Amino acid sequence: MGTDDLCWLPATELTALIRAKKLSPVELAEAVLARIERINPKLNAFCTPAPEAARQAAKIAEAAVMHGEPLGLLHGVPVSLKDLIFTRGIVTTGGSRIFGDFVPEEDAVAAERLKAAGAVILGKTNTAEFGHKAVTDNPLFGVTRNPWRLDRTPGGSSGGAAVAVAAGLGPLALATDAGGSIRIPASFCGVYGLKPSFGRIPDAPGFPGWETFSALGPMSRTVRDAALVLDALAGPDDRDPHSLPALNASYLRACDEPVQGWNVAWCPDLGYAVVDPEVAQISEDAAAVFESLGCRVETVATGWDNPEEVFAVMAAAEIHAAWAERLPEWGGRMDPTLVRYLERGRAVTVADYLRAARRRREFWAQVQGFVARFDLLLTPTVAVPPFPAGESRPRKIAGQEVSVLGWMPFTYPFNLTGQPAASVPAGFTADGLPVGLQIVGRRHADRQVLAASAALEAARPWARHRPPPDSC
């Protein structure tokens, strides 16, 4: 097997090869690092590669194999971390000049657990500044590009993570999602992205931000790889008071569970979204596959209110509380869109925030009543295909004017509710750009989302699709 071929193997295969002593963690790390060195300058997926730390971790992993020591779930597997996730000993900037030289003295719980599982940390992937927008560029590291077409955005704010996985720069990436930041780039880059239930993976310590929205989750080329990460990272930690109790069941084994007989709702617009016709058709075709898997698929209208204003008010207020005090000194060196976001947050009163919080609970009541009837909800992940990098987000879809968040109407509702949701590759536009299907589960039903994702992957495998060689 060529060294470049190693870069495309899933983590589940890599761990098996390493345990059988058929693959050296050092050989694997060197193959991925060489590919990062060659490919990353085109894509800007990694903002801070950590090759020496990765080599040292790979040597330690190899020694453990050779000495017959107990091996973790991710032993020797290369993993990248979004630049919002604290990683001891590696510069972690949040995509901001404010923290251009910041090196955390402790790991986030998730980084700590990755290391305990034997993972080899490759470095940090690029993000929007403090993850504040759903595309990936910042004043510190610049624009990240989509490997399917370099002139297009990978989405965000976890765009660097999605690009790394899509381009063979490591099989696994850990990212964050406060309004779609895992699922949007997963859709735009043709990879699998899982936003677990809120609190499933502890989220501390770290940069302040959206305390009631954000979830940590994996990005990968296969569903089982993401499930493997969840097995390694899920479970409570008192450093995060929102963290959920552990389940006495494997997420990886959930991928083998049948979905026959499930009631599945397909909703192309959630009752308020405008969707690009090609995206709508590709997503609908993917949703229809669940009928062949033995599910009862029903096209439905949710009847929900559009929660965009609720999300916008609460998100703006929370990010203002986190970073507004930095404006006098750093405002001129921040992303201008972040500055405008902070200024919007300043205008939110306590009464505004509490009214929005009440409407959030009312929205959950609508959603809960709906999902009680169905095992899964399917929607497009994003309303549009990947658009040009560095340009303004679409304000017109299919000839209709849309709101600021109108191009991403399907993701943030499930940050408000905390439900698990994944983006699975659904197909490609006529221009060869990826499109994702969103699979939403009931509250805390992460295993069901994984089971459905794996069933769709088995019916329509996607990992064999790779970006064109001229970009990666």
Confidence of residue 392 (pLDDT cuts 50, 70, 90): confident
Tell me the pLDDT tens digit for each residue of 446-472.
999 999 999 999 999 999 999 998 777
CA–CA dist 252, 242 (Å, integer): 23
> Where do the structural domains in the chain lie, given as residue ranges?
3-459
Structure confidence at residue 213 as a pLDDT band (50, 70, 90): very high
The mean pLDDT of 4-24, rounded to a whole number, is: 96
The whole-angstrom distance between residue 393's C-alpha and the CA centroid of its chain comes to 19
Segment 390-397 shows an average pLDDT of 90
* Angle formed at CA 367 by CA 364 and CA 369, multiple of 5 degrees: 110
* pLDDT reported for residue 118: 98
Q: Which pLDDT score is estimated for 88?
A: 98
Please tell me the distance from the alpha carbon of residue 423 to that of residue 446, in angstroms, as a whole number.
13
Helix (H) or strand (E) holding 437, with range, is strand 434-441
pLDDT in tens, 95-140: 999 999 999 999 999 999 999 999 999 999 999 999 999 999 999 9
pLDDT at 462: 97
Confidence (pLDDT) at 319: 97
pLDDT of residue 211: 87
Q: Name, in order, each residue with C-beta under 8 angstroms of 130's C-beta and a sequence gap of 6 or more.
A: 84, 94, 95, 96, 207, 209, 319, 322, 323, 338
DSSP state of 247: P
The per-residue b/e assignment along 185-202, b for 16 or more CB within 10 angstroms, e otherwise, is: bbbbbbbbbbbbbbbbbb
Is-contact 6 27, C-beta < 8 A? yes
Tell me the one-letter amino acid at 138: N
- Sorting pLDDT into bands at 50, 70 and 90, what band is 391? confident
Yes or no: say if 148 and 166 are a contact pair by the CB < 8 Å rule.
Answer: yes
Query: What are the respective helix, strand and coil percentages of the chain, to the nearest 5?
Result: 40, 15, 45
Whether 181 is a known active-site residue: answer yes
Q: In angstroms, rounded to a whole number, what is the distance separating the alpha carbons of residues 79 and 90?
A: 14
**H or E stretch at 121:** strand 120-125
Whole-prediction pTM: 0.98
Active-site residue among 24, 82, 124, 220? 82
Distances in Å between the alpha carbon of 171 and those of 28, 115, 297?
11, 16, 32
Give residue 1's pLDDT band: very low, low, confident or very high (50, 70, 90): low
* 435: pLDDT strictly greater than 90: yes
Q: Catalytic: which of 24, 80, 158, 181?
A: 181
Closest C-alpha to 426, from 466, 379, 472 = 379
Torsional class of 121: left (φ above 0), alpha (ψ -120 to 50), beta (otherwise): beta
The matching CATH number, chosen from 3.50.50.60, 3.30.2130.10, 3.40.630.30, 3.90.1300.10, for 3-459 is: 3.90.1300.10
Q: Say if residues 375 and 262 touch (Cβ distance below 8 Å).
A: yes
Catalytic choice (80, 157, 187, 214): 157
Q: Residue 205, preceding bond cis, omega within 30 degrees?
A: yes
Residue 49 pLDDT exceeds 80: yes
DSSP structure string for 149-194: BTTB---SSSHHHHHHHHTTS-SEEEEEESSSTTHHHHHHHT-EEE
Return the SS3 of 438. Answer: strand
pLDDT at 293: 98
The whole-angstrom distance between residue 265's C-alpha and the CA centroid of its chain comes to 23
Distance CA 461, CA 456 (A): 8
Convert the pLDDT of each residue in 54-89 to its tens digit: 999 999 999 999 999 999 999 999 999 999 999 999
Amino acid code (one letter) for 431 = D
- Count the Cβ atoms, other than its own, within 10 Å of residue 247: 16
Output the pLDDT for position 3: 75
Q: Are strands 296-299 and 396-397 parallel, antiparallel or unpaired?
A: unpaired
pLDDT at 367 > cutoff 90: yes
